[in-house]
């Protein structure tokens, strides 16, 4: 086995782990072999580090669990001053408007009063990278919303992916430690393409569903504006009679879904590491704010009991074909922050912040998050009074309590009374309007077990994979090969391929071939036999749900001296009508002189405005301009990258020499090349750009595609 010179591996053979499912739980037990016993900080031996303490396998997490409390407490406080995760973030203000009442299901006014406009703040983020990392890392994206409702603040702390890596919050420190830079060398940054992460995943089969999502194009979104959002967990809605209905929350972008391709992501990070931030800022600043439809999946106990998987398992989804998403409102993000630190950096989200009428399920990851987040805010913001910071203050309702003093206290109760009950007056409980937890019966022994209903780790991973189009499946294979190729230890690569065999043997073979493994490893032993009868779900594919419009996108127009003014103006007019945006790229920063004698100022200088920054490109060149640009490396890269990244390319006849120098002959011009001979062609070109990518081209420009087709 090849390993780094500085890695001190006492036993190069992986420690054997026995997986047991008993009494409703999956339990990992280390073999003997002189392995040191895991202990708490107090030296107390730990019997189970895989499961938090619950009242029965599917019960609530108990405060008594001192091991989980200490572990998550230490994790929450291990870094200052930036967030341990989601450090690289960007936030904006907006407004949520309810369009359909859920009054029969909940007393939450934000979900029952149609037409009610609720101010909100949303923060988008990557997970693994530090505050200074680049926007286009392959990663999950945080999608956290704070609603300033009339009943208090409601924080819906979601992601752009509806599942998570782990089933129990006790494993969160391990997941993040494994994904972050290695503690001895402090790299790689904002990447999971390294041994520690994949070692953890290879020993954590419950993560394989999430791996399918993070290796898909969902993990390299084109823009925050083109991402879905999910509350991830199963929550409860509680009505006036105390009846509970399960709910999952969804945010669907009006502009549709879109991602970049991997080579493009790498180059965007070099050209503009703030790409997502700039895109969101510019869209709002130009008066075209993004809008999301807000939807819910509602289901009762009868459905939960009959569903193929456990609705408390955060590594599972409920396909929209089984429970359709009911659109009940919308939110628009249209107001930029005044100060990044005061708002985006100091905003504090807590999953336990819910309003009357919204409650929790016994999802063990959600229960652990509820416990953890308050600790995190204390460490980051330095005081229990972080709610006094304006961005965190409730806006739709007054705040009255007897909490006092502490670092950075901005308000204290007035008068003599600072306790309750008292005889002096002041705020009192309100049994009618006050928050009431759902009265769910809890029975069971105090155990550290994973429910047997959580034991299927591969079936939905397979469902996700077969729901993708062939090109999306190819991208998942490409991503796995790339990530695992960065792992030095071959045994880690082999174990991951063994897990993939339980998902799709063709995918496993593709990855094994890409890694040049001498033979296909045996399939990992599953806790329960994976199912192969789950139907594909079109809702899981980006390509199947393409918007079919270029609205909200950006066109890059490369222009030279002597180019057609009529054509440039026609392209601008067609783009603005959608609406979408465009930028003119010129060889020099002063702009160009068009064929009608007008000076047209460029937005970007050619070597500072590569084609990776645009969703499509147009080459509006004169003969002399094209001849000059054909000698320029940046110009050739502009065209070659647009071609390699499968973009639509509009071109004037005079641009042919530049295309040729970029390695694109007439035979290479597929249907995504649109001739711009006259001004009237601009509208047709912009309409064609609505397809966003010409996916068939990838099969012609990627050697991996050749290898996969040859199998």
**Residue ranges of the domains in the chain?**
83-392, 453-543, 548-701
- In CATH, what number does 453-543 get? 1.20.1370.20
Question: What pLDDT, on a 0 to 100 scale, did the predictor assign at position 79?
Answer: 63
pLDDT at 129 over 50: yes
86, 194, 233, 499: which is the annotated catalytic residue?
86
pLDDT at 7 over 70: no
Report whether the peptide linkage leading into residue 364 is cis, meaning its omega lies within 30 degrees of zero: no
pLDDT at 578 over 50: yes
Q: How far is CA 284 from CA 271, 277, 336, in A?
A: 22, 11, 7
Lowest-confidence region among 400-409, 499-508, 637-646, 678-687: 400-409
Question: What pLDDT, on a 0 to 100 scale, did the predictor assign at position 707?
Answer: 54
Query: Could you confirm whether 159 is annotated as catalytic?
Result: yes
**Euclidean distance between CA atoms 649 and 675, whole angstroms:** 9
Handedness of CA 272, 258, 284, 251 (dihedral sign): negative
Question: What pLDDT, on a 0 to 100 scale, did the predictor assign at position 49?
Answer: 85
**Most distant CA atoms of the chain, gap in Å:** 90
> Which tokens hold the place of 644?
């390699």
E-assigned strands of 99-234? Answer: 117-126, 141-149, 152-159, 229-230
146 or 63, higher pLDDT: 146
Percent of the chain with pLDDT over 90: 77
Fold of 548-701: Rossmann fold (3.40.50)
Mean pLDDT, residues 599-606: 93
Question: What pLDDT, on a 0 to 100 scale, did the predictor assign at position 67?
Answer: 82
Cβ neighbors of 56 (< 8 A, separation 6 or more) are 24, 442, 443, 444, 445, 447
**Euclidean distance between CA atoms 639 and 222, whole angstroms:** 19
Query: Could you confirm whether 401 is annotated as catalytic?
Result: no
pLDDT at 10 over 70: no
408 or 569, higher pLDDT: 569
pLDDT tens digits, 263-297 = 999 999 999 999 999 999 999 999 999 999 999 99
User: What is the number of other CB atoms lying within 10 angstroms of the CB of residue 234?
Assistant: 24
pLDDT at 465 over 70: yes
pLDDT at 70 over 90: no
Would you call 357 exposed, middle or buried from its count of C-beta atoms within 10 A (0-12, 13-18, 19+)? buried
pLDDT tens digits, 474-484 = 999 999 999 99
**Euclidean distance between CA atoms 583 and 268, whole angstroms:** 16
pLDDT tens digits, 541-577 = 999 999 999 999 999 999 999 999 999 999 999 999 9
DSSP per-residue letters across 282-317: HHHHTT---EEEEEEEEE-HHHHHHSSS-TT-TT--
| Architecture of the domain delimited by 83-392 | Beta Barrel (2.40)
**Euclidean distance between CA atoms 656 and 661, whole angstroms:** 9
pLDDT at 68 over 90: no
Same fold, 83-392 and 453-543: no
410 or 148, higher pLDDT: 148
pLDDT at 160 over 60: yes
Question: What pLDDT, on a 0 to 100 scale, did the predictor assign at position 397?
Answer: 87
Question: What pLDDT, on a 0 to 100 scale, did the predictor assign at position 32?
Answer: 52
Task: Please name which of 479, 469, 493, 465 lies closest in space to residue 704, comparing C-alpha atoms.
Answer: 479
pLDDT at 20 over 60: no
pLDDT at 80 over 60: no
pLDDT tens digits, 647-692 = 999 999 999 999 999 999 999 999 999 999 999 999 999 999 999 9
Task: Please name which of 229, 287, 278 lies closest in space to residue 253, comparing C-alpha atoms.
Answer: 229
Three-state DSSP state, 436: coil
Question: What pLDDT, on a 0 to 100 scale, did the predictor assign at position 708?
Answer: 57
**Euclidean distance between CA atoms 635 and 641, whole angstroms:** 10
Q: H or E segment at 493?
A: helix 490-500
51, 93, 153, 159: which is the annotated catalytic residue?
159
Instruction: Calculate the average pLDDT of the chain.
Output: 91
Q: Torsions phi, psi of 8, nearest 5?
A: -95, 85
Would you call 167 exposed, middle or buried from its count of C-beta atoms within 10 A (0-12, 13-18, 19+)? buried
363 or 382, higher pLDDT: 363
Question: What pLDDT, on a 0 to 100 scale, did the predictor assign at position 580?
Answer: 97
The residue assigned the tokens 């336990």 is: 352
Label residue 30 by pLDDT band (50, 70, 90): very low
Question: What pLDDT, on a 0 to 100 scale, did the predictor assign at position 19?
Answer: 39
Question: What pLDDT, on a 0 to 100 scale, did the predictor assign at position 5?
Answer: 39
Q: In what order do the strands lie in the sheet with 616-620?
A: 604-605, 581-586, 554-559, 616-620, 649-651, 673-675
Percent of the chain with pLDDT over 70: 94
Label residue 31 by pLDDT band (50, 70, 90): very low
Label residue 191 by pLDDT band (50, 70, 90): very high
């Amino acid at each position: 086995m090849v390993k780094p010179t500085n890695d001190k591996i006492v036993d190069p053979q992986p420690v054997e782990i026995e997986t047991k499912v008993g009494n409703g739980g999956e339990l990992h037990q280390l073999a003997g072999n002189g392995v040191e016993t895991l202990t708490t900080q107090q030296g107390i031996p730990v019997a189970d580090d895989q499961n938090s303490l619950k009242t029965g396998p599917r019960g609530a997490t108990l405060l008594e669990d001192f091991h989980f409390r200490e572990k998550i407490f230490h994790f929450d406080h291990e870094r200052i001053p930036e967030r341990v995760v989601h450090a690289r973030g960007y936030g904006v203000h907006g407004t949520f408007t309810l369009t359909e009442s859920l009054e029969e299901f909940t007393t939450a006014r934000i979900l029952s009063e149609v037409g009610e406009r609720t101010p909100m703040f949303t923060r988008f983020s990557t997970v693994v990278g530090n505050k200074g990392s680049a926007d286009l890392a392959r990663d999950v994206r945080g999608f956290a919303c704070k609603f300033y409702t009339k009943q208090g603040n409601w924080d819906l702390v979601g992601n752009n992916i509806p599942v998570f890596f782990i089933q129990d919050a006790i494993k969160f420190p391990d997941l993040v430690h494994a994904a972050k830079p290695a503690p001895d060398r402090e790299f790689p940054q904002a990447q999971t393409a390294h041994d520690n992460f994949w070692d953890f995943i290879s020993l954590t089969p419950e993560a394989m569903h999430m791996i399918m999502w993070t290796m898909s194009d969902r993990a390299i979104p084109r823009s925050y504006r083109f991402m879905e959002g999910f509350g991830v967990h199963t929550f409860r809605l509680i009505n006036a009679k105390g009846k509970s209905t399960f709910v999952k929350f969804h945010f669907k972008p009006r502009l549709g879904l879109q991602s970049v391709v991997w080579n493009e992501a790498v180059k965007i990070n070099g050209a503009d590491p703030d790409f997502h931030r700039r895109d969101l800022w510019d869209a709002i600043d130009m008066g075209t704010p993004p809008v999301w439809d807000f939807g819910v999946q509602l289901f009762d106990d009868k459905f939960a009991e009959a569903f193929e998987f456990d609705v408390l398992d955060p590594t599972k989804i409920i396909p929209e074909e089984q429970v359709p998403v009911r659109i009940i409102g919308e939110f628009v993000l249209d107001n930029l922050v005044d100060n990044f630190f005061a708002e985006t950096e100091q905003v504090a989200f807590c999953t336990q912040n819910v309003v009357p009428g919204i409650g929790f399920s016994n999802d063990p990851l959600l229960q652990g998050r509820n416990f953890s987040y308050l600790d995190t805010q204390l460490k980051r913001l330095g005081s229990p009074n972080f709610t006094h910071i304006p961005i965190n203050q409730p806006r739709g309702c007054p705040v009255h309590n007897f909490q006092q003093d502490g670092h950075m206290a901005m308000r204290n109760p007035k008068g003599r009374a600072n306790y309750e009950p008292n005889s002096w007056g002041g705020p009192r409980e309100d049994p009618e309007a006050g928050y009431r937890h759902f009265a769910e019966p809890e029975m069971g022994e105090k155990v550290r077990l994973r429910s047997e209903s959580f034991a299927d780790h591969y079936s939905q991973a397979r469902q996700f994979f077969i729901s993708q189009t062939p090109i999306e499946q190819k991208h998942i294979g490409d991503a796995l090969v790339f990530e695992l190729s960065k792992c030095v230890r071959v045994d880690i690569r082999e174990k991951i391929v063994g897990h993939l065999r339980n998902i799709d043997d063709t995918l496993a073979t593709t990855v094994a071939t890409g890694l040049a493994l001498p033979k296909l490893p045996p399939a990992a032993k599953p806790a329960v036999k994976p199912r192969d009868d789950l139907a594909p779900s079109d809702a899981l594919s980006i390509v199947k749900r393409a918007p079919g419009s270029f609205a909200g996108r950006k066109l890059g127009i490369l222009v030279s001296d002597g180019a057609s003014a009529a054509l440039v103006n026609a392209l601008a007019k067609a783009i603005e009508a959608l609406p979408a945006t465009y930028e003119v790229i010129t060889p020099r920063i002063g702009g160009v002189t068009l064929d009608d004698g007008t000076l047209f100022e460029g937005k970007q200088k050619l070597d500072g405005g590569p084609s990776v920054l645009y969703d499509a490109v147009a080459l509006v060149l004169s003969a002399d301009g094209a001849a000059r640009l054909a000698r320029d490396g940046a110009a050739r890269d502009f065209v070659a990258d647009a071609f390699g990244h499968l973009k639509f390319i509009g071109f004037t006849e005079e641009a042919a020499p530049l295309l040729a120098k970029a390695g694109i002959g007439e035979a290479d011009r597929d249907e995504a090349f649109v001739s711009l001979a006259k001004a009237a062609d601009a509208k047709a070109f912009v309409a064609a750009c609505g397809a966003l990518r010409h996916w068939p081209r990838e099969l012609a420009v990627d050697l991996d595609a050749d290898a996969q087709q040859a199998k």
